[in-house]
A and B are shown apart, each in its own frame.
Chain A
Amino acid sequence: MVTGRKVAVVGMGGSFPDCADIKEFDQKIFSGQSLIREWSKAAERDKQIRSKVAGYINDNDLGIEPIYLVEGYDWPETFVDTRGRIPDINLSTADLGCVWAMNGALDSIEMAGWTKEETQSEMTGVVVASGGGGNVIMRNAWHAFFELGKKSRQAGSHMVDRAMSYREAANVSCLIKNRGVCESIISACATGLGNIGYAYRLIKFGLQDRAIAGGVEGTSLETFIGFDAMQVLSKGFAPAESSRPFDIKRNGFVCSFGAGIVALEEYEIAKARGANILAVIDDYFNNSDGDGDMFYPSYSGQLRMWKGLSANAQIKPDVVKVHGTATPVGDILELISVVDTLGEEGYHVSAPKSQFGHMLGAAGSVEFIVALLMLKNQQVPGCLNSDTLNPELENFQKKEGWQGSMKPAAAYRHLIPQETITKEINQVVCLNYGFGGTNSAMAISRDI
C-alpha cells in the first residue's frame, strides 16, 4: 500500500431517464422535476404487472438505433450509434447497458481531459458493472433454442460477450483500450457505488493512477417483473408522485434504468496537469449486516458502516445522500441510523430516488453524480413527495431489543427539504445498500 495517495473525481457522464444529456439531468434534478413516467412496456401487459411506472430510456433514445434480426421480436441484434461515437465493431458486442456505459466513459474521459496516452496507459483501469443479467440478449437464445428447437448458432455468436456478467467493463475497456485493470464489482443495488469504491481503492493503494468506474442498469422487462413479483414496486400513484421516500403513504420503489460513469484520478497527478477537480474522495467503506437476512435492512450493520467510514477520515457531512428507496421499512430505519450517528442538526438528507426512482445497479453511481452536482451547484435537491412523515413510531421501534432513536420520522422533518435549497456544501456522504445485506458508504468533499 502506498500511503498518502488521495483520489479525485475529474469526469462524469451517463444516461438518464427523460434527459438528453447530463446538462439536462442537472437542470431537471435541481429544478425539482420528476423523471418518472408511465412505461408502456409495463402498461401494455395490463394485469400481468402491478406497477406501471419507471424511469426509463427508450431503446432508440440518446442517438442509439436498435437493429432487429426479425421484425416484431423485441431483442435487438445490434445497435447503430447515429452520433458516430462508438464504432460498429464495439456495438456488435454490446447490450443496451453497455452502449450507455461506453457513452458515459467517453463523456467522462472528455471532461477529465485525459490524453490518448493517459487513457491507454497500464495505470488506467476500468471498473464498471450492472446489477442485472443480460436478460434482453438471452431472450433470443431462449426463443430460438428452447421454443423453436433451433441449433445453438441461431442464438447468435455474441450471446456470451453481450450477456456475460462483466460485459460493461469489457466493452468499455475494448473501446478506450486501457492497459490496466478491467473488472466488475457486483453487489445488487450497491453495485454503482461499489465499483467507484473499488476503483478508489485501486488508485489509493497505488495499483492504478486513474480509472473509469460506475454502474449500469440496462432496460429490461425481466428485471422489472422480478421486483414486481416481490410486490415491492410502487403502485397506485400518478407517475411523478410514485417515488415517495419517507412519506407515510410510500408503498414501494419505482424500478428505473440508466447509467452513471465517473473518471477518477490520483489527486497529485490530476492537480499537476491542471484538471478540474469535481470532488476529492475522503474515504469509502463497505461491510455486511451479518444477520443472515437477505432483504431486511440492519440498523447495527449501518451503524458499523458509519463507524468504518469515520475510522480514517474526517466525516462531517453537509448532506447525507441516502439510499432512500421508498419501501416501507428501509427509509426510516436508514434515517434513524443517520440521525443516531450524526445527531439531529447540522446537515440535510437527500433522497434522489424521489426524482428518478431506483436504478438498481446504476443507483449508486447516478446518485454519486447527483452528489457531485450538489458540490458544484451548492444546492440540495428536495425530496419529492415526502409530504407527510409518520407522527408515530415505526413497528421496528416498538420491538423488544430496539436500541435506536425512540422518536418518530416526523421529528426529523427539518432534515429533509421538500424543495431545492441553497447552502454551503463542503462534504457529502453517499449511502447505498443491496440484497444480501451489503452496505456501502463514500464521503466526498469539495477541493478547497
Chain B
Amino acid sequence: MDRKEILAGLIEVLRTIRTVDPAKLENVTEETDFMTDMNTPSTELINIAAKVEQKFDVEFEDEDIDELGSKVKDVIDLIIKAKARTEEERGN
C-alpha cells in the first residue's frame, strides 16, 4: 500500500466525520494540517485515529498517538509504521 492509497483511504475516513467540513476535503495533501487547515475539533482527532485503526486493520501504540503531529503526513507515517509492526508481529 503506497502513500497515495493511504491518503485516499484517510480521506474516506474523514468523510465519515460529520464535524469535518466536506468542502475542506477537496484539496487535502500530505502537508494539510488537521487543526489549522481543517479546523477539526480536538475531540474528533481521537475518533479519526480509532477509525483509521479500523479502516487499515492496524493498532497504534498509545505513545504513537501521544506524539502524533497534526499534519496528514504524520498520520500516513504512523499507518505505515503500524502496518510494518503488525506484519512483523504476524510474521513472527
Contacts and interface: CB of A to CB of B under 8 A. Distances in A.
B91 interface: no
B19 A151 contact: no
Contacts of B43: 157-158
A17 to B, nearest CB: 27
B50 to A, nearest CB: 5
A88 interface: yes
Interface residues of A, number: 16
Q: Which of A67, A91, A153, A158 has the most CB of B within 10 A?
A: A153
A63 B44 CA distance: 25
B33 interface: no
A153 B50 contact: yes
Interface in A18-77: 67, 69-70, 77
Contacts of B19: 88-89, 92
A88 B18 contact: yes
Interface string A140-184: 000000000001011011100000000000000000000000000
A153 B59 contact: no
Nearest to A77: B16
A268 to B, nearest CB: 41
A151 B59 contact: yes
- Main secondary structure on B side of the interface with A: helix
Nearest to A87: B19
A156 B47 contact: yes
Nearest to B48: A157
Contact of A89 (B16, B41, B46): B41
Contacts, number: 35
Nearest to A151: B59
A67 B19 CA distance: 13
A342 interface: no
A151 B54 CA distance: 12
Contacts of A91: 18
A69 B55 CA distance: 11
B70 to A, nearest CB: 16
A154 B18 contact: no
A78 interface: yes
Interface in A84-121: 88-89, 91-92
A352 to B, nearest CB: 36
Interface in A373-420: none
A67 B18 contact: yes
Contacts of B46: 153, 157
Contacts of B53: 154
Contacts of B65: 153
Interface in B16-33: 16, 18-19
Contacts of B11: none
B38 interface: no
Contacts of A92: 18-19, 44
Nearest to A70: B54
A303 interface: no
B18 A157 contact: no
A158 B18 CA distance: 13
Contacts of B78: none
A70 B41 CA distance: 22
A67 B16 CA distance: 9
B21 to A, nearest CB: 9
A77 to B, nearest CB: 8
A80 interface: yes
A157 B44 contact: yes
B59 A158 contact: no
A153 B41 contact: no
Contacts of B80: none
Contacts of B51: 69
Interface of A: 67, 69-70, 77-78, 80, 88-89, 91-92, 151, 153-154, 156-158
Given A80-B18, A157-B50, 19 more contacts: A70-B54, A77-B16, A78-B18, A89-B19, A91-B18, A92-B19, A92-B44, A153-B46, A153-B47, A153-B65, A154-B54, A156-B47, A156-B50, A157-B43, A157-B44, A157-B45, A157-B46, A157-B47, A158-B43
User: 5 closest Cβ contacts across the A-B interface?
Assistant: A88-B18, A157-B46, A153-B50, A157-B43, A157-B47
Interface of B: 16, 18-19, 41, 43-47, 49-51, 53-54, 59, 62, 65
24 contacts: A67-B16, A69-B51, A70-B54, A77-B16, A89-B19, A91-B18, A92-B18, A92-B19, A151-B59, A153-B46, A153-B47, A153-B50, A153-B65, A154-B53, A156-B47, A156-B50, A157-B43, A157-B44, A157-B45, A157-B46, A157-B47, A157-B50, A158-B43, A158-B47
